[in-house]
């Protein structure tokens, strides 16, 4: 039984049909990348899993139980935590308060100590009393991941974690996420930065216009320059 | 030449008006800050609190302090019924629908209270221990009960700010008021939180109504009179800001009282002039956004 299993999922953003008969699975302690061009339906897929956009057809099962039509907070309390693309740090709360709210709101899993987050993210340790709105983009991204991690998730959903970050910050984030995945955290990551995603992941799904286009191991995908070029524009980007 | 003693008297009266305006405006601001609902019915909740306080004083117990506690609890529970039974169904709708729904409560509750208690005004005395005056100078004194209500409003503000900063419930309220969807994604039961916040906001209105009952004549129309000033207070202070509600309430109270020296019978004019000035020059309010 997979930790997460989507079968023939169709999801909509408003009235737009964005995801078509999508199927994917994530096993326990695995890191899976969900790849595709901008607008391919990656974020909508994550939102369908977390219940923030309605799924109209298909099934979504977590640990074998359907989570379809469950409320967003209930899905979260089953252990599925999303780090959204926009980070969505609580702007008027300090770093410690952002983490405290997450820790104390956790009802489905035993939360991790906040001090452990400062060990993983030393940059946040120096910013404990800073308000969320005063953090840089990279610091906010670290805090967004830490806020999800303090809830001790069974499945961590990372939506475009490098979006808008400077290359040097992306490298810092890569180190932190490598540390996190080495701690047996199950991760489903969407990412435009293909190299970043390939370095972290064991398997990948490529989606194109909301449909499954390919899936397999990272080793296989690295051999398939045609796929990287056709669906992820990696060759074109390199040519630039 | 305006008599200095008269001005001091009117400032004291203004502070007293400000204190009970704050007690109604703070709940209004709390509910708007978290639920984003402009609760027109907040005035009638305040009026019910005043009647509960009067009933407690005129009952066999005759206990004013018991009336304060009962007013907060009874009105808080009425607020829960309003939120769970009705408002929850219109959160996703247009703001006008929410406003109209709360306005319907104003009409229904006002008529209901008039049916039960009649349309005549009721007056109660301050509790026995607070019927003396505190002499401030040779020319100025403040009735002890008015001083007590001012102190109570300061304590309520302090208690709310402390709870928001130091308790988990307070942090969750601040987090949810800034990003409801992210709060849900963290597993926070937002509908339950909304009910809790509405209870507290309504209970504050009930408490304020009972506390202010000895300072004014209580009629079924009381809610309609205070809600307008309460809205002026929260707009001037900044919607959703508690410190803003406090500053706004005392400014309005003093404007009404001192303004009536210069324009007898038209003291209410000044807050509305201030309202227009704030809307044009600082639409987020004097303190708006600082803590939201």
What's B154's domain CATH number?
Answer: 1.10.3470
Helix (H) or strand (E) holding A214: strand A211-217
**Count: domains in chain B:** 1
pLDDT attached to residue B292: 43
Asked whether the beta carbons of B67 and B209 are under 8 A apart, the reply is no
What does the alpha-carbon distance between residue B76 and residue A156 come to, in Å, rounded to a whole number?
39
Inter-chain contact B171–A81, Cβ cutoff 8 Å? no
| Residue A97 at interface with chain B, using a CB cutoff of 8 Å | yes
Asked whether the beta carbons of B149 and B211 are under 8 A apart, the reply is yes
Q: Could you report the per-residue pLDDT of B189-201, keeping only the tens digit for each?
A: 999 999 999 999 9
Inter-chain contact B182–A88, Cβ cutoff 8 Å? yes
Nearest to A28 by CA among A187, A151, A186: A186
Number of residues written out for chain B:
292
Q: Which tokens belong to B5?
A: 């003693």
Share above pLDDT 90 across residues of chain B, in percent, rounded to a whole number: 74
Q: Is pLDDT above 80 for A127? A: yes
> Residue A78 is part of which domain span?
4-239
Q: Could you report the per-residue pLDDT of B73-103, keeping only the tens digit for each?
A: 999 999 999 999 999 999 888 889 999 999 9
For residue A192, the domain's CATH number is 3.40.50.300
- Residue B149 inside a domain? The answer is yes
Residue in the block written with tokens 């169904």 = B89
Inter-chain contact B184–A77, Cβ cutoff 8 Å? no
pLDDT attached to residue B140: 80
Using alpha carbons only, what angle is made at residue B54 by residues B145 and B69, rounded to the nearest 5 degrees?
75
pLDDT attached to residue B265: 76
- What ipTM was estimated for this complex? 0.92
Q: From A103, which residue of chain B is nearest by alpha-carbon distance? A: B186
Q: Could you report the per-residue pLDDT of A15-68, keeping only the tens digit for each?
A: 889 999 999 999 999 999 999 988 899 999 999 999 998 777 899 999 999 999
User: How far off is chain A from B172, nearest CA to CA, in Å?
Assistant: 6
Q: How many CB pairs under 8 A join A and B?
A: 70
The residue of B168, B173, B175 whose CB has the most chain A CBs within 10 angstroms, and thus the best one to mutate to test that interface, is B175
What does the alpha-carbon distance between residue A236 and residue A227 come to, in Å, rounded to a whole number?
12
> Residue B164 is part of which domain span?
4-281
Inter-chain contact B187–A147, Cβ cutoff 8 Å? no
Q: Quick one: average pLDDT of B139-155?
A: 91
The residue among A228 and B123 whose pLDDT is bigger is B123
Nearest to A28 by CA among A63, A68, A55: A63
Q: Is pLDDT above 80 for B290? A: no
Interface subset of A 104-123, CB within 8 angstroms of B: 104-108
pLDDT attached to residue A153: 93
| Residue A86 at interface with chain B, using a CB cutoff of 8 Å | no
User: A5-9, A211-215, B6-10: which range is least confident on average?
Assistant: B6-10
pLDDT attached to residue B20: 87
The residue of B186, B242, B243 whose CB has the most chain A CBs within 10 angstroms, and thus the best one to mutate to test that interface, is B186
pLDDT attached to residue A237: 44
**Count: domains in chain A:** 1
């Amino acid at each position: 039984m997979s930790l997460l299993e989507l079968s023939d999922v169709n999801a909509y953003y408003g009235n737009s049909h964005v995801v078509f008969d999508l199927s994917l699975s994530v096993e326990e302690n695995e890191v899976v990348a969900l790849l595709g061009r901008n607008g391919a339906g990656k974020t909508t897929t994550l939102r369908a899993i977390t219940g923030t956009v309605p799924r109209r057809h298909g099934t979504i099962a977590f640990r074998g139980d359907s989570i379809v039509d469950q409320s967003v907070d209930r899905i979260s309390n089953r252990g599925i935590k999303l780090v959204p693309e926009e980070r969505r740090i609580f702007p008027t709360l300090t770093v410690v308060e952002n983490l405290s709210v997450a820790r104390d709101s956790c009802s489905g899993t035993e939360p991790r100590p906040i001090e452990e987050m400062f060990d993983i993210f030393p940059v946040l340790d120096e910013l404990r009393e800073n308000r969320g709105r005063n953090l840089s983009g990279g610091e906010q991204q670290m805090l967004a991941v830490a806020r999800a991690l303090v809830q001790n998730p069974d499945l961590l959903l990372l939506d475009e974690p490098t979006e808008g970050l400077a290359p040097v910050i992306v490298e810092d984030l890569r180190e932190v996420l490598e540390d996190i995945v080495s701690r047996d955290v199950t991760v489903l990551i969407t990412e435009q930065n293909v190299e970043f995603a390939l370095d972290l992941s064991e398997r990948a799904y490529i989606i194109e216009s909301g449909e499954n286009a390919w899936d397999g191991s990272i080793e296989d995908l690295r051999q398939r320059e045609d796929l990287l070029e056709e669906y992820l524009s990696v060759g074109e980007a390199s040519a630039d | 030449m305006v008599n200095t003693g008269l001005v001091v008297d009117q400032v004291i009266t203004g502070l007293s008006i400000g204190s009970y305006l704050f007690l109604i405006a703070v709940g209004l601001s709390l509910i708007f800050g978290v639920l984003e609902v402009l609760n027109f019915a907040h005035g009638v909740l305040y009026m019910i609190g005043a009647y509960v306080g009067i009933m407690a004083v005129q009952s066999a117990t005759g206990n004013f302090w018991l009336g304060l506690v009962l007013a907060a609890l009874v009105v808080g529970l009425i607020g829960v019924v309003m939120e769970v039974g009705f408002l929850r169904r219109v959160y996703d709708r247009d703001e006008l629908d929410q406003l109209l729904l709360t306005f319907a409560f104003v009409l229904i509750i006002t008529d209901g209270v008039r049916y039960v208690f009649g349309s005549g005004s009721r007056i109660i005395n301050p509790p026995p221990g607070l019927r003396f005056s505190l002499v401030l100078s040779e020319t100025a004194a403040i009735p002890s009960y008015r001083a007590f209500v001012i102190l109570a409003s300061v304590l309520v503000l302090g208690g709310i700010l402390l709870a928001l900063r130091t308790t988990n419930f307070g942090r969750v309220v601040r987090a949810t008021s800034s990003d409801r969807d992210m709060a849900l994604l963290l597993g926070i039961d937002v509908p339950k939180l909304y009910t809790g916040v509405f209870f507290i906001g309504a209970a504050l209105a009930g408490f304020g109504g009972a506390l202010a009952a000895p300072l004014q004549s209580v009629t079924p129309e009381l809610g309609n009179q205070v809600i307008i000033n309460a809205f002026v207070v929260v707009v001037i202070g900044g919607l959703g800001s508690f410190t803003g509600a406090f500053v706004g309430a005392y400014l309005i109270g003093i404007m009404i009282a001192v303004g009536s020296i210069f324009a007898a019978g038209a003291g209410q004019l000044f807050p509305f002039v201030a309202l227009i000035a704030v809307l044009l020059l600082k639409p987020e309010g004097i303190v708006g956004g600082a803590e939201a």
